[in-house]
């Protein structure tokens, strides 16, 4: 088996989306653009698929039409961030023109859901001191973008 490729369905803006994602992530590139021919089903010459790589992972974006061109929160992409600066970068880059949700989730301007999660979050939530973990959970539930310092402060606070 060669692996798994994420396949994303768009309605006419697959190339724009792929170019956007490649601009946000390091180690990323457009690998191939294929176009519809005379037999369709899209308009001849229109972009059909864009194969691209995001930080070493393969993706394909398809201009498949409006029938299935919507994303929902049932599937999302999680970005593990080592620092607040990294959280802030991805939050700002992917969230521009999108929608902030809660607990580190957002949708980008194409409607694709992302989780921007600092590695400190699962560490705090799995702390053997359950009271500390619960204080971190409570703080996280009150956030949209995750703030690592506020999580740590909440976890350290006395009950």
User: What's the pLDDT tens digit per position in 77-135?
Assistant: 999 999 999 999 999 999 999 999 999 999 999 999 999 999 999 999 999 999 999 99
Residue 3 is predicted with a pLDDT of 86
Closest C-alpha among 146, 28, 148, 16 to residue 91? 146
DSSP state of 41: S
77 with 142, same domain?
Answer: yes
Domain of residue 58, residue span: 1-69
139 with 84, same domain?
Answer: yes
Task: Looking at 5-78, list the stretches that DSSP marks H as alpha helix, in order from N- to C-terminal side.
Answer: 14-24
Tokens 């310092």 -> residue: 149
Per-residue pLDDT band for 2 (boundaries 50, 70, 90) equals low
55 with 119, same domain?
Answer: no
CATH of the domain at 79: 3.10.180.10
Question: How many structural domains compose the chain?
Answer: 2
Could you report the per-residue pLDDT of 10-56, keeping only the tens digit for each?
Answer: 999 999 999 999 999 999 999 999 999 988 788 889 999 999 999 99
Its pTM stands at 0.91
47 with 122, same domain?
Answer: no
Tokens representing 12 are 């006419």
Q: Which of 69, 95, 128 is the last residue of a domain?
A: 69
């Amino acid at each position: 088996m060669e692996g798994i490729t994420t396949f994303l369905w768009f309605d006419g803006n697959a190339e724009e989306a792929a170019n956007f994602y490649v601009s946000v992530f390091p180690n990323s590139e457009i690998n191939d653009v294929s176009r519809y021919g005379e037999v369709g089903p899209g308009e001849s010459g229109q972009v059909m698929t864009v194969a691209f790589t995001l930080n070493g992972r393969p993706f394909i974006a398809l201009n498949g039409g409006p029938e299935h061109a919507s994303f929902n929160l049932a599937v999302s992409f999680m970005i593990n961030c080592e620092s607040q600066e990294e959280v802030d970068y991805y939050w700002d880059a992917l969230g521009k023109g999108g929608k902030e949700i809660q607990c580190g989730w957002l949708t980008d301007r194409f409607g694709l859901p992302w989780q921007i999660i600092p590695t400190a979050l699962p560490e705090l939530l799995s702390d053997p001191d359950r009271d500390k973990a619960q204080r971190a959970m409570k703080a996280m539930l009150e956030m949209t973008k995750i703030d690592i310092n506020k999580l740590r402060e909440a976890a350290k606070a006395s009950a």
